[in-house]
Amino acid sequence: MASSHRSEMIVRQDSPANLEFPFETLSDRLTPPGQFYVRSHFPVPELSAADWRLDISGLTRQPLSLTLADLHAMVSHTVTVTLECAGNNRSFLTPKVDGVAWDLGAVSTAEWTGVPLSAVLERAGLQAGVQEVVLCGADRGCLYEPVKTPGIIAYERSVPLQKARSDVLLAYAMNGQPLTAQHGFPLRAIVPGWYGMASVKWLRGIHLTDTPFQGFFQTLDYSYWEQSGPLSPQMTPLSAMQVKAQIARPAAGETVAAGQPYSVTGAAWTGEAEITGVEVSTDGGLTWAEAELTDPPEAHVWRRWQYLWQAPNTPGQVTLLARATDSAGCTQPSEHAPGRGKYMITFPLPVTVLLE
Amino acid sequence: MASSHRSEMIVRQDSPANLEFPFETLSDRLTPPGQFYVRSHFPVPELSAADWRLDISGLTRQPLSLTLADLHAMVSHTVTVTLECAGNNRSFLTPKVDGVAWDLGAVSTAEWTGVPLSAVLERAGLQAGVQEVVLCGADRGCLYEPVKTPGIIAYERSVPLQKARSDVLLAYAMNGQPLTAQHGFPLRAIVPGWYGMASVKWLRGIHLTDTPFQGFFQTLDYSYWEQSGPLSPQMTPLSAMQVKAQIARPAAGETVAAGQPYSVTGAAWTGEAEITGVEVSTDGGLTWAEAELTDPPEAHVWRRWQYLWQAPNTPGQVTLLARATDSAGCTQPSEHAPGRGKYMITFPLPVTVLLE
């Protein structure tokens, strides 16, 4: 599939593929097939459906090895989920930081079909004391920049047992079609409400542990510094997505007709709550007006929104901003907290347009 | 004290002070006052005995704030403990790595007097679920190289509750004298058998937690990659010292009389076990001979050793090596495992001398 659509994506890195959804083309609730953003750390592993197995190991009552047919034979679930890369909007940070320079499009929405992780865990049985479920990808390799991996490592991330049991899906289909190679064929995790790094692709194993997992992608990568209590900040794995609104149109640099109405559109999403409101500023943040949410609320899915802007008569530059609020009462910070490093960039992003 | 003795130490860094014991001068079991190695991350905090408090916080039954007089009024214990910096011998690594370039002397032995941490914990009382005890230093600052701290942070390290209760000492005296400023006045932790990073100086707090502490000096610094089970290596805080023997005399580059007897001397130490044997090679590792242990075994204290070497008649270069074994059956690896990074350098160190 990639070949026919890849030209419509923004290529941030060719190999491994890191491809961005052109967010200004946002129209449907589901991102068009072939335009869902792609985040890869290593080359796509070559897996054959016939030989592939999912091994459930660690603190199980019995080790389990499932074929794709075994998974297809289990009761399937279909959910719509928005995934956002934790580094989305990184190109807006100053000074520049390491990592893929994502603009607006490391976020997309799809319909995922598969088996709840809870059903697989129930089949394996859990020993007492399980704290975390490590999702093990078949993709592996060495990284040298910005930090060096300890030799060849695999892509592995954990989720707490409670999250694993509540709504994590082991998905074999995306928008009604088998997963493509770039999106994790034959099986990937979908961790609703969490940044994309938890939704491990090319799953080969599920490992149950009684201690917090401390792999490379859980510590040196995909973590931030969280300050709480009287201690200095602590290294904390990224987890739930933070509330955010993005403007799709107008795009930055677009020319807008002075004195005419313009429908400002975009989408807003959050982690474990619901988007309850989006505000737009057309004067660089001095005043804010309520936008209209055009999608109904649905857990773990973005809500599109629109705001009818009466563009002023005076030609010149105008900066638009959007910010969202969720049902947990969270809104966007005005600045990027240094402890977040190159992740969780959620301050309102300026979109500067030209009135003519 | 520092001024009169500092000239006898090897200065690796002037500010903050990182000073090395000249290991080739090893003679007594206790390192001479003023020659105990100094490892600092930040400037020495200026603390006055009168104003200073030790705050016990977190999951206590009652928060506690102790004065130095309170601690002096408790039953005191005196123990002899060898401390080694986890980066000792770093100058032997190729290629070169970041960090202070310690040669042989980031290891020393002293007699420490203070109050068992267990007695202080008992006085505060523990809530259910305590897993770790965070030792909080008053030293703080920013680091930029090789990795950046999240703003200004304090030096903090944790030990598991079990270790905290077993033998950790809160020491106010070293070799019978109050702690000097460089060694942690007015109070420091002594964590016997563990690398020195755990023996936090300038203690200002003890914080009890029910989750593993993930501060900067427990993750980005003073950790290594440990491989266990089917997962990729995991970031693991350094803890117990690994078994090691070092040659004090002859020193590298020393001239030794050909055909004469020479008493090769040194010390050997390990973490939670006892040194049971030291072997010496005088042919670059082809053959090994047993050395004589000249100190009795004592938990957490190095044992000095000697080996009477009949130096060959032929002039030229000779490389000596030493290696130790402990009561847990551990010995030294022949090579540095990459996952250890810039720490736990325990392969036998070559000492090349000139026979004349």
**Annotated domain spans of chain B:** 2-237, 244-355
Q: What is the CATH number of domain B2-237?
A: 3.90.420.10
The SS3 of residue B98 is coil
ipTM: 0.93
How many Å from the N-terminal Cα to the C-terminal Cα in chain B?
A: 40
B65 touches chain A (CB under 8 A): no
Cβ-Cβ contacts under 8 Å, B213 against chain A: 231, 234
CB atoms under 10 Å from CB of B288, counted, come to: 16
| Exposure of A234 in the CB half-sphere (CA atoms within 13 A) | 15
Residues 14-43 of A with CB under 8 A from B: none
Task: With CB atoms and an 8 Å threshold, state whether A134 touches B216.
Answer: no
Task: With CB atoms and an 8 Å threshold, state whether A225 touches B338.
Answer: no
Query: Chain A residue with minimal CA distance to B215?
Result: A234
Cβ-Cβ contacts under 8 Å, B98 against chain A: none
pLDDT of residue A269: 98
The whole-angstrom separation of Cα B208 and Cα B117 is 12
The whole-angstrom separation of Cα A149 and Cα A159 is 21
Residue A267, both tokens = 């989408």
pLDDT per residue as tens, chain B (356 positions): 333 444 589 999 999 999 999 999 999 999 998 999 999 999 999 999 999 999 999 999 998 999 999 999 999 999 999 999 999 999 999 999 999 999 999 999 999 999 999 999 999 999 999 999 999 999 999 998 778 899 999 999 999 999 999 999 999 999 999 999 999 999 999 999 999 999 999 999 999 999 999 999 999 999 999 998 899 999 999 999 999 999 999 999 999 999 999 999 999 999 999 999 999 999 999 999 999 999 999 999 999 999 999 999 999 999 999 999 999 999 999 999 999 999 999 999 999 999 99
- Angstrom CA distances, B10 to B16, B32, B104, B348, stand at 14, 14, 10, 22
The whole-angstrom separation of Cα B123 and Cα B115 is 12
The SS3 of residue A16 is coil
Q: Kindly report, residue by residue over A239-280, the tens digit of the pLDDT.
A: 999 999 999 999 999 999 999 999 999 999 999 999 999 999
As a whole number of Å, the CA-based R_g of chain A is: 21
Pick B338's closest partner by Cβ from A151, A211, A214. Answer: A151
Let me know: does A31 contact A104? Beta carbons within 8 Å.
Answer: no
Q: Is A348 exposed, middle or buried (0-12, 13-18, 19+ CB in 10 A)?
A: buried
B220 touches chain A (CB under 8 A): yes
Mutation target to probe the A interface, by most A beta carbons within 10 A, among B132, B143, B214, B344 is B214
Fold assignment, B244-355: Immunoglobulin-like (2.60.40)
The residue with tokens 């973005």 is: A302
Task: With CB atoms and an 8 Å threshold, state whether B156 touches A212.
Answer: no
The whole-angstrom separation of Cα B220 and Cα B148 is 9
The SS3 of residue A15 is coil
B207 touches chain A (CB under 8 A): yes
The whole-angstrom separation of Cα A132 and Cα A137 is 16
Query: Chain A residue with minimal CA distance to B213?
Result: A234
Mutation target to probe the B interface, by most B beta carbons within 10 A, among A214, A219, A344 is A214
Q: Kindly report, residue by residue over A32-75, the tens digit of the pLDDT.
A: 989 999 999 999 999 999 999 999 999 999 989 999 999 999 99
Residue B325, both tokens = 């074994």
